[in-house]
């Protein structure tokens, strides 16, 4: 009898360690798909303040005809513009990167970048040189990792840390966020209760991110501090009040 109880205990511990039941995993998968579907076609307007300049930034996500997803971000200031596009698939609640593009208009194109993801690698295409980077899955890009962050916060139990390997031109950068609590934050879009994540250290480089549970953990504010330079992104309009239009 004692041996049977011990086997039962070990079975329960193993199930907990494996992340729960198949029903819980299915719930996570549907939660991730539902989150993206709810916000497909939504236009998000942000302002980016940096070095005395204010840039307008517009973000959207859409599902393509073949079932893949596209996220895009366009920032503009006078005659300059930066456009990012991320194509990805959603597999089991996990974003799988397919292609990422970063293009600058009205400026030198030497920083333009295209990444094409395969199994265990991604190919780099850039005016500064092409190449191939060997990687271990999962790997994200600068745009879609923020969507994976929303999925992780909305569809999983809270964790103290979140890790996202980000594909860059010459390396994979390890973005490690720590959860520091909740607080009220006010932006031009309104006042929100937000989960706060941080990356880095105050005496070096520090990113502080506010994500609103009421908006499916949308980023409503982000501050990047590096030495004496500070950049800030703020949500300009609550998408629930604007009907998702820009």
Q: What is the pLDDT of residue 244?
A: 46
pLDDT digits (tens, 9 = 90+) for 17-46: 333 333 344 588 899 999 999 999 999 999
CB contact burial 62-85 (16+ within 10 A = b; e otherwise): eeeeeeebbbbbbbeeeeebbbbb
Measured CA to CA in angstroms, residue 207 lies from 93, 130, 202, 224 at distances of 26, 30, 9, 5
pLDDT tens profile 134-181: 998 899 999 999 999 999 999 999 999 999 999 999 999 999 999 999
Query: Is the CATH number of domain 22-242 2.50.20?
Result: yes
**Dihedral angle of Cα 198, 200, 203, 206, to the nearest 10 degrees:** -50
pTM equals 0.84
Domain extent listing, the chain: 22-242
pLDDT of residue 15: 27
Q: If DSSP codes are grouped into helix, strand and coil, which group holds residue 85?
A: strand
Do residues 171 and 187 lie in contact, with contact meaning Cβ atoms separated by under 8 Å? no
């Amino acid at each position: 009898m004692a041996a049977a109880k011990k086997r039962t205990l070990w079975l329960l511990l193993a199930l907990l360690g494996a992340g729960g039941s198949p029903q819980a995993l299915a719930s996570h998968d549907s939660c991730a798909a539902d989150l993206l579907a709810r916000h497909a076609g939504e236009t998000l307007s942000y302002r980016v303040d940096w070095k005395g300049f204010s840039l307008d930034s517009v973000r959207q996500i859409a599902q393509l005809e073949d079932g893949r997803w596209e996220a895009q971000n366009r920032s503009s200031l006078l005659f300059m513009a930066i456009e990012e596009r991320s194509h990805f698939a959603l597999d089991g609640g996990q974003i799988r990167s397919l292609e990422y593009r970063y293009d600058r208009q009205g400026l030198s194109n030497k920083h333009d970048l295209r990444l094409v993801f395969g199994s265990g690698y991604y190919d780099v295409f850039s005016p500064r040189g092409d190449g191939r980077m060997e990687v271990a899955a999962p790997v994200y890009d600068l745009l879609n990792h923020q969507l994976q962050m929303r999925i992780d916060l909305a569809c999983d139990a809270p964790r103290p840390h979140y890790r996202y390997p980000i594909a860059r031109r010459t390396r994979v950068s390890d973005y490690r966020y720590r959860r520091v609590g909740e607080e009220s934050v006010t932006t031009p879009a309104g006042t929100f209760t937000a989960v706060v994540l941080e990356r880095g250290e105050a005496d070096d480089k520090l990113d502080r991110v506010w994500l609103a549970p009421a908006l499916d953990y949308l980023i409503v504010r982000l501050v990047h501090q590096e030495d004496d330079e500070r950049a800030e992104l703020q949500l300009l309009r609550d998408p629930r009040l604007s009907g998702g239009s820009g």
